[in-house]
Amino acid sequence: MSYREFSEEQLPQLTESLNELVSELLAEKRENLSWNSYGPAITPEHCEQQVTAEALVEIKRKCAQQGGFLDPLDQQSYPSRARHSGDANYMSFKQWLKNRGLWKQGRAYEEISKVVVGARHSGTYWYPENGYMGWHTNENHSGQSRLYCNYAAEDRKSFFRFQSPDSDEIVTSWDRKGWVFRYFEFGDTPETRLWHCVYSSTDRLSFGFKAGSA
């Protein structure tokens, strides 16, 4: 498995360019973002439960029952299992970026392109309080890598959690106030499969990018 984290200090130019977007985005009315994956009524208890070690055991059991697939419908579309299952609570700001001419252009995009060759967006998620994305592996994108730029409004109130394929240990990587940059690769074998999930009890912005050649 390949997973690495980078700090604001390691990527200062990218941090600065992304900071230019953050205050405007956080000031946006939530109603102006996509609510396709957002439910304002989702409770803190539900959110916390979906990212536990017990939830992972249950999801793996369900996968095993469904021929290895997290969503049975995926069998029609994917050769391998467990893209994210829709078990999530976030707002998308994809259209917000497009409306401002910041899709594949602008300073932040130029800076990310210096780090990720031919960068393409692969996630534009605003996790509010009670935000989460349940356990999944992204195996439908096996062989690809991602750089996620994660902003948190408060210290240690949101996290990226994963199960190390090397040891089966569950690792919780808490966000710091500001930016954490996370690089990881998706595999589809027991040695490379990366089960992961996201939790937030603050405002957490996630800008995901993949290399253009993938």
Q: Which CB sits closer to Fe ion, 110 or 183?
A: 183
Restricting to residues 137-196, which ones interact with Fe ion according to CB under 5 A? Answer: 138
Restricting to residues 58-87, which ones interact with Fe ion according to CB under 5 A? Answer: none
Q: Which CB sits closer to Fe ion, 6 or 106?
A: 6
Q: What is the 8-class DSSP label of residue 196?
A: E
| Least CB distance to Fe ion at residue 146 (A) | 8
**Unique residue bearing structure tokens 């396709």:** 36
| Least CB distance to Fe ion at residue 92 (A) | 14
Q: Which CB sits closer to Fe ion, 138 or 140?
A: 138
| Least CB distance to Fe ion at residue 86 (A) | 12
Handedness of CA 78, 97, 87, 112 (dihedral sign): positive
Q: Which CB sits closer to Fe ion, 108 or 141?
A: 141
Q: Which CB sits closer to Fe ion, 24 or 53?
A: 53
| Least CB distance to Fe ion at residue 100 (A) | 25
Nearest residue to Fe ion by CB is 138
Is 50 near Fe ion (CB under 5 A)? no
Restricting to residues 120-139, which ones interact with Fe ion according to CB under 5 A? Answer: 138
Dihedral in degrees, nearest 10, Cα atoms 126, 102, 139, 141? 180
Q: Report which residue type is found at 67.
A: G
Handedness of CA 44, 171, 209, 151 (dihedral sign): positive
How far, in Å, CA of 119 to CA of 114, rounded?
9
Nearest one of 148, 169, 168, 167 to 159, comparing CA atoms: 148
CA distances from 156 to 50, 178, 180 (A): 18, 10, 12
| Least CB distance to Fe ion at residue 23 (A) | 27
Residues that bind Fe ion (CB under 5 A): 138
